[in-house]
Amino acid sequence: MNSHSPIPGNTRGRLLEAAELLFVKHGYEGMSLRQITSHAKVNLAAVNYHFGSKEALVQELLSARLDRLNQERLALLSLCEARYGEHAMDASAVFGVLFVPAVRISRDRTGGMGFMRLLGRVYSDPSPFIRDYLHEHYQPIYERFFEAFARALPHLSRNELGMRLHFALKALSGVLASEDMDELISALCMGEPVSDSLMLARLIAFVSPMLTVPFDNREHIRGVEQIMEMAAAAAQAADSKVQADGESAGPRKPRGILPLWAEKVVGT
């Protein structure tokens, strides 16, 4: 149970907690109202009374969990930009502004240790309902951070930057959605004294190159082309061997497709 668990007997709170736990585990499309009410130990009528629908329940959950996060992100971004002055923040610093508030919230009593997994699920869930909700409620925040990344990486076209950010955040979301926060920190610290700052620094070190490594490195492209050519040649050689083995063994009898009587006829 999360540290922000509602007071026992608070039906509305139990429904929100049940929805969060099931959403993190199964995604929006994978959880049903019946599962939510069963987990919360209330009847279906309670959802209609308190929220009206599954959609309204999840909307309230996301608002309660994400509004504060994004307010803190914007405040921290403004503070950092003011400190940098005329100089653009680098991409790693912008990633830091995205991650630090989330980790801070996950460490306080209102966030809970499951907060990072919730974020990972929110940003990786393919449901049109979740995608539309995020676009409708948080698009101005995304645009604000996109501009910060654009200033950090002025050599990238907006289209390329958008594509790179999409894959970088997708990769990060997959990690956050599937990992226990303490296990993630332990893995990233690799035996060194555990700290959120070290974990974040290394997480950012993994993700940042997805924005900065050049696409048009001819040496890398040629290396991949050579591997593909080798794979094609190996497959062709294997096919030739199978064909040669088949010809030397004579006509092959069909097995496993025809009924037994037909196999006997074919074999005579």
pLDDT (tens digit, 9 = 90+) per residue, 139-169?
999 999 999 999 999 999 999 999 999 999 8
Banded pLDDT at 256 (limits 50, 70, 90)? low
Q: Which amino acid is at 93?
A: A
Residue 108 tokens, joined? 């306080």
Rounded to whole angstroms, the Cα distance separating 203 from 210 reads 12
| Mean pLDDT of all residues belonging to the chain | 85
By percentage, how much of the chain surpasses pLDDT 90?
Answer: 57
Is residue 110 over pLDDT 90? no
Rounded to whole angstroms, the Cα distance separating 38 from 169 reads 33
Give the pLDDT of residue 48.
Answer: 92
- Give ranges for CATH 1.10.10.60 in the chain: 9-52
Is residue 261 over pLDDT 60? no
- Give ranges for CATH 1.10.357.10 in the chain: 65-215
Element (H, E) at 238: helix 218-248
Residue 211: closest CA among 150, 258, 144: 150
- Per-residue pLDDT, averaged over 244-260, amounts to 59
DSSP assignment letter at 42: -
Domain 9-52 has CATH 3.50.50.60: no
Residue 64: how many other CB atoms lie within 10 Å: 13
Give the pLDDT of residue 113.
Answer: 67
Angle formed at CA 241 by CA 239 and CA 245, multiple of 5 degrees: 120
Local structure of 157: helix, strand or coil: coil
Q: What is the pLDDT of residues 1-27, one digit of tens each?
A: 444 444 445 999 999 999 999 999 999
Fold of 65-215: Tetracycline Repressor; domain 2 (1.10.357)
* pTM for this predicted structure: 0.76
| End-to-end Cα, the chain, rounded Å | 69
Is residue 52 over pLDDT 70? yes
Residue 99: closest CA among 128, 121, 131, 77: 77
